[in-house]
Amino acid sequence: MSEMLERLTRERIVAIFRGVEDRYADEAARALIDGGIGMMEITMNTAGATGLISRWREKFGAEAAIGAGTVLDLDMAKEAIAAGAQYLISPNLDESVVVYGNEQGVPVWPGCMTPTEIVRAWKAGAEAVKIFPMASLGVKYLAEIRAPLDRIPMIATGGVDLDNIADYFNAGACAVGMGSKLVNLTWAREGKFDLMTARAKQFAEAARGL
């Protein structure tokens, strides 16, 4: 198990920053870190994503692992790693991205839906996979595929909230990816960073208390 995968399974939550405006970004990240969230994913379709990754590595690197999300292809993977991303997450499986990440010492957790995709990703060298879209597939789907594929760590992304987070872990997820339920950009724009910290603390406690 790589150091980053070990961290993922310990932290249990990846906060997904998609579309965050630069002027709110640092305070939003700080708010989540203060609430106990230690893994940040900046999606590559966020304006200025690579600049944010570089800046957060410098500002928050001692407290949080900074990764890139929505890494669709090899070119994006190269950009993200050059910016300092410590892990790559995608909604899709591109084996060339997995291979490149491994060559660079950066873990890649690709998005998969079917058992065939999950095993393909694992054989390509992915230590873990992101099951997506989890909100549509449902927690029962996760439990079913975990039965035969229990050797492969799975990150459940989509549909997680305080009421059901325990269900995802009980179904076998090693971690969950969380976007707007955790990274509330409306609160960030309104300067309500205390609310973001309080929400983060609730999720962090729910995840680690299981």
* SS3 of residue 137 by DSSP: helix
Domains of the chain: 3-205 (3.20.20.70)
State yes or no: pLDDT of 175 exceeds 90: yes
Query: What's residue 209's pLDDT?
Result: 82
> Tokens 């570089």 belong to which residue?
54
State yes or no: pLDDT of 47 exceeds 90: yes
Which residue of the set 21, 79, 117, 130 is catalytic? 130
Query: What's residue 89's pLDDT?
Result: 98
Q: Residue 16 burial (CB < 10 Å; 0-12/13-18/19+)?
A: buried
41 is catalytic: yes
Query: What's residue 1's pLDDT?
Result: 84
Percent of the chain with pLDDT over 90: 98
Residue range 73-100: average pLDDT? 98
Give the β-pairing of 65-69 and 39-43.
Answer: parallel
pLDDT digits (tens, 9 = 90+) for 125-157: 999 999 999 999 999 999 999 999 999 999 999
> Tokens 């300067």 belong to which residue?
191
* Contact between 77 and 108 (Cβ < 8 Å): yes
Residue range 155-168: average pLDDT? 96
Distance CA 52, CA 62 (A): 16
130 is catalytic: yes
Kindly indicate the confidence band of residue 4, based on its pLDDT and cuts at 50, 70 and 90.
Answer: very high
* Contact between 101 and 124 (Cβ < 8 Å): no
Query: What's residue 83's pLDDT?
Result: 98
Mean pLDDT of the chain: 97
Distance CA 67, CA 4 (A): 10
Residue range 180-193: average pLDDT? 97
State yes or no: pLDDT of 11 exceeds 70: yes
Query: What's residue 210's pLDDT?
Result: 59
- Please list, in sequence order, all residues whose beta carbon lies within 8 angstroms of the beta carbon of residue 69, skipping any fewer than 6 positions away: 16, 18, 41, 42, 43, 44, 88, 89, 90
Tell me the pTM: 0.97
Which residue of the set 41, 63, 123, 181 is catalytic? 41
pLDDT digits (tens, 9 = 90+) for 114-128: 999 999 999 999 999
State yes or no: pLDDT of 101 exceeds 70: yes
